[in-house]
Amino acid sequence: MDNYVPSDETTVEPENPFPAPYNGEDVKIMLVSKSSKFSKINGHVREYFTEKPDCNRFVIYKSTNGATEKAISCVEVFKQQFEEPIYQWTRAVCSKRVVLWKCQQEGPRDIRVTVEVPVIFIVISRDPFPGEYSCMSMQCSSDKDIAFLPALRSSKKSAGGKSDKKDKKGNRRTNEGNKWTKPTSEQRKKEHKERNELLKEIESSKNQ
Amino acid sequence: MSIHMSTTPSKRFDEKINTVNRRPPVKPCEEPNHIYITRKTNVESQAKTAEEMLNNSFDEIYIHGMGASVNKALVFAMEVERKFGGSVKSDIQTSTVQCTDDIVSLLDLEQTDTRHRSVSAVHVHLYRAAS
């Protein structure tokens, strides 16, 4: 790559992945970059919500230049600070950054490098989302459970593969089906008792 | 020998006379179909593992990333989604994870404080779409 120099860089911005009414042109989109300040962005959103409480019901946070963690943190902070329950809908898409590397020597072709950067879109709404769009990407600030917890509970029950092996290990601990494990003290006492009874029977039969 | 423990509300401490031991964050689930992405995770090799999991063992996998590895977790999830074309779909949720740090004084090793940090996390649920 010594003889190549970047000549042109274009970024293909992704479209808003949400359906109407969250993808209109008049929708408020907060662009969050790595240098954005929580207080400024969240203060602006709070002002927007309180300015016209009847009209301004939702805002979209969008990350730029790969600042997805910042956008998520921003939303998490806003959810904790806002008094009312807030409904959240998260979606991630890819933006394409195409860089053209030109060769300084004659002969080799130019190189076109495409880098896909994740962009996160988060809708913050004061109203619940319509039922027709219902999906697992939606959550509410009043939810105290861990994300996907109901799904986790069901997956624990129906998990296959290695989890079966774990179950076998569990059986081993209870000494069911594995004869090589060390017996527990109760099992040893039981075996000792049975042995003593057998010995007594043998001795009594000899005496007779 | 007694160990004094107290919780400090302030995050600030003197770095010259204290050392911080970060406790590993609590994992929500230890099942094999839960993948935890860290800063050290190799996305390519982990994507292969996830692909094998979805092909052979599981219909759904969960990807978790927190803090600095949120972006990496999303890259990883999209990579897996891209490998499967349209047959795998994703749901994304975010949360805040409470992490605990132990602040140990270098002057008096018996004196330990704890500090709590809130870290943002992302959870991606990848599942086979019904055909």
Tens digit of each residue's pLDDT (9 = 90 or more) over A86-131:
999 999 999 999 999 988 888 788 899 999 999 999 999 999 999 8
The end-to-end CA distance of chain B, in Å, is 65
User: Which residue matches tokens 């423990």?
Assistant: B5
In 3D space, the residue among A49, A60, A58 whose CA is nearest the CA of residue A14 turns out to be: A60
B 99-128 → A contacts, CB under 8 A: 118, 120-123, 125
Q: Is the dihedral of CA A46, A149, B98, B25 positive or negative?
A: negative
- A72 vs A109 pLDDT, higher one: A72
User: Considering only CA atoms, which of B34, B43, B111 is closest in space to residue B73?
Assistant: B43
Q: What is the pLDDT confidence band of residue A141, given thresholds at 50, 70 and 90?
A: confident
Cβ distance of A136 and B78 shorter than 8 Å? no
> Residue A56 CB: number of other CB atoms within 10 A?
15
User: Which are the contacts of B16, defined by CB distance < 8 A and separation ≥ 6?
Assistant: none
pLDDT along chain B (131 residues), means of 10: 51 78 87 92 93 92 94 94 90 92 83 88 91 62
CATH number at residue B96: 3.30.110.20
More confident residue, B4 or A195: A195
**Domain extent at residue B91:** 4-23+32-128
Q: Which of B70, B78, B125 sits opposite A148 (nearest CB)?
A: B125
The domains of chain A are located at 4-143, 162-207
Nearest residue of A to residue B60 by CA position?
A: A155
Lookup: tokens for A23: 């993808």
Contacts of A25 (CB under 8 A, 6+ apart): none
What is the amino acid identity at position A111? I
Residue of A nearest to B33 (CA): A159
For residue B53, give Cα distances in angstroms to A33, A160, B88, B127. 35, 11, 13, 11
Best interface-test mutation with B: which of A63, A68, A153, A154 has the largest number of B CBs within 10 A?
A68
Q: Provide the CATH topology of domain A4-143.
A: Translation Initiation Factor IF3 (3.30.110)
Q: What is the mean pLDDT of residues A61-86?
A: 92
Percentage, residues of chain A above pLDDT 70: 83
| Residue A51 predicted with pLDDT over 80 | yes
Q: How far, CA to CA in Å, does A75 sit from each of A42, A71, A86, A144, A157?
A: 8, 6, 10, 16, 33
Question: Is A106 strand, coil or helix?
Answer: coil
The count of residues in chain B is 131
Give the model's pLDDT for residue A93: 94
- As a whole number of angstroms, the distance between CA A97 and CA A114 comes to 6
- Does a cis peptide bond (omega within 30 degrees of 0) precede residue A19? no
Q: How many domains does chain B have?
A: 1
Q: Do A72 and B70 touch (CB under 8 A)?
A: yes
